[in-house]
């Protein structure tokens, strides 16, 4: 059996945030759930490719921003999310 990969603290935070978004999506209507899951997946995938893994300050900034967004999404008043494409 292959040795288990050890994750850093930041990696654990990012994965926890991702799982939190997916859990929050489960509480929304089925159409919104699929939309939320697609947006979240695309955003995390894009950031994993575009951001240098050693840019700890920016990653920590994104984690803080993500936690605020997750808090808003988890609110029962929030029905779904939208995206804004700039440029």
Contact (Cβ atoms closer than 8 angstroms) between residue 79 and residue 29: yes
Please report the pLDDT score of residue 49 as a whole number. Answer: 95
- Measured from the Cβ of residue 25, the count of other Cβ atoms closer than 10 Å reads 20
- Is 86's pLDDT higher than 80? no
Angle (CA) 29-31-36 rounded to 5° is: 85
- Measured from the Cβ of residue 10, the count of other Cβ atoms closer than 10 Å reads 13
Q: Extract the tokens encoding 52.
A: 């240098």
- Is 66's pLDDT higher than 90? yes
Question: HSE (CB half, 13 Å, CA atoms) of 57?
Answer: 0
Least Cα distance to 67 among 23, 5, 20, 6 occurs for 20
What pTM value is reported for the model?
0.84
- Is 80's pLDDT higher than 90? no
> How do residues 6-41 score in pLDDT, each as one tens digit?
988 899 999 999 999 999 999 999 999 999 999 999
- Is 57's pLDDT higher than 70? yes
- Is 82's pLDDT higher than 80? no
pLDDT mean over 43-63: 95
């Amino acid at each position: 059996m292959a040795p288990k990969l050890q994750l850093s603290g930041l990696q654990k935070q990012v994965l926890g945030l991702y799982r939190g978004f997916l859990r929050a999506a489960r509480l929304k209507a089925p159409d919104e759930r699929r939309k939320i899951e697609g947006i979240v997946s695309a955003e995390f995938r894009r950031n994993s490719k575009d951001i240098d893994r050693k840019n700890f300050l920016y990653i920590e900034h994104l984690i803080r921003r993500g936690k605020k967004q997750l808090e808003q999404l988890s609110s029962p008043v929030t029905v779904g999310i939208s995206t804004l494409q700039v440029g």
